[in-house]
Structure formats: C-alpha cells, structure tokens
C-alpha cells in the first residue's frame, strides 16, 4: 500500500492558511510574508540555519493564536474584526490599543441601553489587559507545542515563543528588548507588518509606517536595510503565492514526513482547530476515532480508511473563517452568519490544497462532510452519487459526535438520543443507513434489530463485496477496489451466495436492494 509522501512544508502551509483565516489576515498572508522574509534574509546574507528559522517563523508565527479564542470573544466580541484592526496599529502605542479596544467594546455592547452601555465599556476597558496578557502568553506556548509535535527544532520553537516581542521591549509576554529578541523574530515581525500595510494602504504608505516605527517595533538597522530596498523586496507580493514557491523556498534539506509523522501532523491540525472553544475541544479526534472504527467495520480498504481518518482530523479546518463569537452565541445566527458558516467546507478544501496531489483524496472528503444524500446539505448541495463511502461515514460520525457535544444554543444529547436523531436523518433520506449504523455500532449504540437481522451471518468483508457486486461491479473489479486477490473475492462471493441463498449476481443485487443495502446510491460513487 503506497503511503503518501508529504513534505512538512505542506502541513505548514495548511496551518498557515488556517491561521490566516482565524486571525483575519488576507489570502496567502503568511505565504506572502514568507516570500518577503526570505528575500530580505537573502539580501542580508544570513546563513542557512537563520534562513530556516525565518522560513518557519513566517509560516507559523500565529499558529498558536487559536487557543482560548473564546475568552477573547467573550471579552471583545467579534475577535476576527478586532484582530484585523490590531494588525494596523503600533502595539507599543497604548492610546492606539485603547482606542481599538474601545471600538470593539462599543460594537459588542451596541444593543445595551445607554446607562448599561457605558458601564459595560468602562468595565471592559478596565479588564482588557488582565484578559489579554494571559491569552497572548498562551498563544506563544501553544505555538511552541504545535511546533514540537511536528518535529521542529528547539531554535524554531524558541522564536515562536517570542512572537509578540518587540525591539523596544514593549511587547509580550516577557517584554524583552533589543537583541534579546531573536533575529528571525525581528525580521519576520517587520516583514509581516510590511505586507499588511502595503496591501491595505499601498507601498509608499507602508514605507512611511516602517520608517515611523524604526527604533520602536523594529530594530533601526534592520528597518534601514529594508527601507533601502523596499520597492524591490515587495515586487509581486500583492498576488497569491503558489504552493511550489513555498516548497522551493524551504532551506535544504527538505523535511519529508513518513506515515507516522504525517499522522501526527494531522492530529496537530485537529487540536489546533478544536482549541479555540471549550465545547469543541477534542471534537476532531473523537470524530476521527469513530470514523476510523466505522470504516474498518464496513471493510473499507486500508487506504480509504487512512484518508477518511485524516479527513476527520481536519474536517473543520475551514471553521476558523467564522468568528468564535458567532459559534458562542446562544441565539439564532443571522443569514450572513449562516452563509459564512456554510462555507467552512469550502475553506477546508482550500486549506488542504496545500497538501498537493497527495492530499487531494483527503480534501475531497472534507469538502463533503456536511453534504447529505438528498442534496439538503451544504455547501455544494451534492447528492448521493457524489458521496463516497468515506464521505458518508465522516458525515455520520461528525453528526453523531456533534449531537453528543454541548453547544451554546443547546445541551449535549445522550448517546441514545443522538443515535435516534441520526436514525431519523437516515429515514428522511439524508444520512447513509450503512454508514450511520456502522458509526453507531462503533459508538456502542448497537444497530437496530432489523439491521442486524438483515445482515445476519455476513462478515463485514462479505457485506462490502455484496455492495460492490450489487452496484454492478464484477468480481475482478471488486477485488481491485478492496485491494484483495481476485481468487479471494471469488471465495467471498461464493460464501456470500451460499449464506443468502442465491446463485447469481442479479439475485444478490436484488437481495441487497430489498434489505436497503444499496438505497440512496451508496455505491454509485
């Protein structure tokens, strides 16, 4: 069984896409800043180890900033809007920070009567730093832990721990100054601010801002060198950056991950996604565990199970585009919020495009995780023929796991109630019966009696063979799909025929149809 060979940089780009969404940066922000930072590093003639540090700092600077986002959203409302505003101000300027926080609080409490509004704002302003400092310190530590889990060096991790530090010592969490702030941190902070300001206000305005903050946020000598070459360094950076450019920029030797390291990278992404809100903590791991078991239960080929599990780890990566303040609200979502929420599978596919051709099957499953057999899902309104067994299993596993987790607008359902909810969706033609029963069986919610009766005596492999031949596949084709020898497939078919009392493929197909094994086009994909 061929194992996909991922570059570690593939995962860095997926993480960068996700953090760009979560922090309100524009498309390819981290990638564009990586290109700029590497150009600048080359101009300065730094050695390969410094280049490696710059490369990783640019791609991963904000990778921990998803932690504790619920606290940020509770205090300041729409945290993505707040983060967008903060990108533009000088974080050493207390009055600019105060004005930005004041705007956020005014937006958040806009519905309060005037007397309560001023009190809420006053209280929010008083607590702003107490709330923010531990959160920002947490971002640094989480970034370091994620970096460790994907195998990055101690030096790169140390840089990530300084992501909010500044030349003048007015940064966080330690307030270190000057050369105590590592060189890659100083360089990438300048490069990322340059990208933000250039894309919003143009290169001349960006040059003015960098000059103004020289000696404050930025090391004077570094700012001078940058400003002397700013126009050339910024060439083409208003355009999207393709994956190959970032892969080519990685200093040698390129890090390639084996299967175990790839698995760990997917799990790291899962945790990064889920850590933004307490009620999603562990969600992706739980969905992946269920989906993996259900895939095995249904006898899916090992390659399909691996892709299914990796898709389950990353299925909600696109959710980072939606502010946590939206997910946390107990009331109904507005039409605009529903639209944004429904696009998260689209963003998920885009994020996983960073994984290149090897990641395509995973991205295809992620894209479909909220689709339903009858076309009532989102966001493409795909129907049964477009939904593979893996996509159906992920849809069922996600629905079950979500139902048994609490959300701000509803309590958690018991496992029994969650199972009933899924079976109701099966009856309505939305979820695949086989995939759903497999998920429920693996979650300890034993299948309904009629399901176990209709499958009585068949092994999971025989059920899978039955599905395939009922869908019109020959024994040879079924053998190829299941990655077994044709002779083995023949043996399964003969044993299956004997058990269900048929002699022909057509009769076996009819048997499968009668028992609902092929309803909703489970096998059409």
> At its nearest, how many Å lie between Fe ion and the CB of residue 504?
43
Q: Which is nearer to Fe ion, 273 or 466 (CB)?
A: 273
- Rounded to whole angstroms, how far apart are CA atoms 181 and 159? 8
Piece in contact with Fe ion (CB under 5 A), picked from 142-150, 261-269, 315-323, 424-432: 315-323
Contact flag: residue 219 with Fe ion (CB under 5 A): no
Q: How far, CA to CA in Å, does 318 sit from each of 127, 241, 276, 349?
A: 31, 19, 13, 8
- Rounded to whole angstroms, how far apart are CA atoms 388 and 303? 14
Which H helix or E strand runs over 6?
Answer: strand 6-7
β-pairing, 6-7 with 256-257?
Answer: antiparallel
> At its nearest, how many Å lie between Fe ion and the CB of residue 368?
11
Piece in contact with Fe ion (CB under 5 A), picked from 39-47, 313-321, 451-459, 506-514: 313-321
Q: Which is nearer to Fe ion, 316 or 386 (CB)?
A: 316
Piece in contact with Fe ion (CB under 5 A), picked from 45-53, 90-98, 314-322, 431-439: 314-322
Piece in contact with Fe ion (CB under 5 A), picked from 269-277, 308-316, 503-511, 512-520: 308-316
Cis preceding-peptide flag for 173 (omega within 30 of 0): yes
> At its nearest, how many Å lie between Fe ion and the CB of residue 341?
9
> At its nearest, how many Å lie between Fe ion and the CB of residue 289?
17
> At its nearest, how many Å lie between Fe ion and the CB of residue 348?
8
Taking the mean position of all CA atoms in its chain, how far away is CA 34? 20
> At its nearest, how many Å lie between Fe ion and the CB of residue 273?
10
Piece in contact with Fe ion (CB under 5 A), picked from 7-15, 210-218, 276-284, 309-317: 309-317
Contact flag: residue 274 with Fe ion (CB under 5 A): no
- Rounded to whole angstroms, how far apart are CA atoms 215 and 177? 11
Piece in contact with Fe ion (CB under 5 A), picked from 179-187, 191-199, 222-230, 311-319: 311-319
Q: Which is nearer to Fe ion, 53 or 69 (CB)?
A: 69
Q: Which is nearer to Fe ion, 213 or 315 (CB)?
A: 315
- Rounded to whole angstroms, how far apart are CA atoms 57 and 161? 10
Q: Which is nearer to Fe ion, 170 or 342 (CB)?
A: 342
Q: Which is nearer to Fe ion, 194 or 399 (CB)?
A: 399
Q: Which is nearer to Fe ion, 300 or 395 (CB)?
A: 395
- Rounded to whole angstroms, how far apart are CA atoms 178 and 167? 5
| Burial class of residue 193 in the structure, from the number of CB atoms within 10 Å of its CB (0-12 exposed, 13-18 middle, 19+ buried) | buried
Structure tokens at 116: 């309560």
> At its nearest, how many Å lie between Fe ion and the CB of residue 316?
5
> Do residues 309 and 292 lie in contact, with contact meaning Cβ atoms separated by under 8 Å?
yes
The size of the interface with Fe ion (CB under 5 A), counted in residues, is: 1
Q: Which is nearer to Fe ion, 368 or 423 (CB)?
A: 368
Q: How far, CA to CA in Å, does 342 sit from each of 282, 361, 378, 390, 450?
A: 22, 21, 6, 21, 35
For 180-205, the three-class secondary structure string (H helix, E strand, C coil) is HCCHHHHHHHHHHHHHHHHHHHCHHH
Q: Which is nearer to Fe ion, 306 or 315 (CB)?
A: 315
> At its nearest, how many Å lie between Fe ion and the CB of residue 443?
18
Q: Which is nearer to Fe ion, 109 or 346 (CB)?
A: 346
> At its nearest, how many Å lie between Fe ion and the CB of residue 402?
8
| Burial class of residue 117 in the structure, from the number of CB atoms within 10 Å of its CB (0-12 exposed, 13-18 middle, 19+ buried) | middle
Q: Which is nearer to Fe ion, 387 or 482 (CB)?
A: 387
Contact flag: residue 316 with Fe ion (CB under 5 A): yes
In 6-113, which ranges are continuous DSSP H helix? 8-22, 29-44, 48-60, 69-76, 79-86, 94-108
Residue nearest to Fe ion (CB): 316
Piece in contact with Fe ion (CB under 5 A), picked from 9-17, 295-303, 310-318, 375-383: 310-318
Give the 3-state secondary structure of residue 375.
coil
Q: Which is nearer to Fe ion, 75 or 393 (CB)?
A: 393
> Do residues 82 and 65 lie in contact, with contact meaning Cβ atoms separated by under 8 Å?
no
> At its nearest, how many Å lie between Fe ion and the CB of residue 145?
24
> At its nearest, how many Å lie between Fe ion and the CB of residue 325?
18
Angle CA 106–72–353, to nearest 5: 115
- Rounded to whole angstroms, how far apart are CA atoms 475 and 427? 31
Backbone angles phi, psi at 213, to 5 degrees: -95, 5
> Do residues 524 and 385 lie in contact, with contact meaning Cβ atoms separated by under 8 Å?
yes
> At its nearest, how many Å lie between Fe ion and the CB of residue 18?
14
Q: Which residues form the interface with Fe ion (CB under 5 A)?
A: 316
């Amino acid at each position: 069984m061929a194992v996909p060979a991922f570059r570690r940089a593939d995962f860095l780009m997926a993480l960068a896409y996700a953090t760009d969404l979560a922090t309100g940066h524009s498309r390819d922000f981290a990638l564009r800043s990586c290109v700029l930072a590497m150009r600048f590093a080359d101009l300065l003639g730094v050695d390969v180890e410094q280049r490696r540090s710059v490369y990783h700092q640019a791609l991963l600077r904000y990778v921990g900033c998803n932690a504790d986002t619920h606290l940020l959203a509770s205090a300041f409302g729409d945290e993505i809007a707040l983060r967008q505003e903060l990108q533009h101000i000088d974080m050493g300027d207390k009055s600019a920070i105060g004005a930005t926080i004041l705007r956020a609080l005014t937006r958040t409490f806009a519905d309060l009567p005037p007397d309560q509004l001023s009190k809420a704002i006053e209280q929010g302003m008083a607590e702003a730093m107490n709330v923010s400092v531990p959160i920002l310190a947490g971002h640094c530590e989480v970034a370091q832990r994620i970096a460790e889990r994907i195998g990055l060096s101690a030096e790169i991790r140390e840089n990530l721990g300084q992501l909010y530090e500044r030349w003048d010592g007015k940064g966080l969490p330690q307030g270190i100054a000057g050369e105590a702030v590592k060189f890659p941190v100083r360089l990438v902070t300048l490069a990322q601010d340059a990208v933000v300001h250039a894309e919003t206000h143009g290169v001349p305005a960006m040059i003015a801002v960098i000059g103004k903050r020289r000696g404050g946020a930025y090391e004077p000598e570094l700012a001078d060198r940058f400003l002397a070459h700013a126009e050339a360094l910024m060439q083409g950076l208003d355009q999207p950056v393709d994956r190959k450019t970032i892969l080519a920029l990685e200093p040698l030797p390129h890090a390639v991950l084996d299967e175990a390291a790839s698995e760990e990278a997917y799990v790291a992404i899962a945790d990064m996604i889920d850590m933004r809100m307490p009620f999603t903590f562990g969600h992706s791991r739980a969905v992946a565990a269920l989906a993996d078991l259900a895939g095995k239960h249904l006898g899916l080929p090992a390659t399909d199970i691996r892709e299914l599990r990796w898709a389950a780890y990353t299925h909600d990566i696109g959710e980072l585009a939606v502010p946590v303040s939206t997910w946390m609200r107990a009331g109904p979502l507005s039409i605009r919020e529903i639209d944004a929420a429904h696009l998260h599978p689209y963003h998920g596919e885009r994020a996983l495009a960073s994984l290149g051709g090897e990641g395509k099957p995973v991205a295809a499953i992620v894209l479909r995780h909220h689709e339903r057999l009858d076309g009532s899902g989102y966001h493409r309104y795909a129907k049964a023929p477009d939904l593979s067994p893996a996509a159906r299993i992920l849809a069922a596993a996600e629905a079950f796991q979500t139902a048994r987790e609490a959300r701000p607008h509803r309590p958690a359902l018991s496992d029994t109630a969650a199972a009933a909810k899924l079976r109701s969706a099966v009856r309505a033609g939305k979820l695949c019966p086989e995939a759903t029963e497999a998920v429920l069986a693996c979650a300890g919610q034993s299948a309904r009696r009629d399901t176990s009766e209709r499958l009585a005596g068949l092994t999971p492999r025989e059920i899978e063979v039955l599905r395939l031949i009922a869908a019109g596949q020959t024994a040879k084709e079924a053998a190829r799909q299941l990655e077994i020898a044709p002779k083995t497939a023949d043996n399964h078919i003969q044993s299956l025929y004997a058990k269900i009392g048929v002699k022909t493929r057509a009769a076996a197909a009819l048997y499968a149809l009668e028992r609902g094994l092929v309803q909703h086009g489970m096998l059409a994909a």
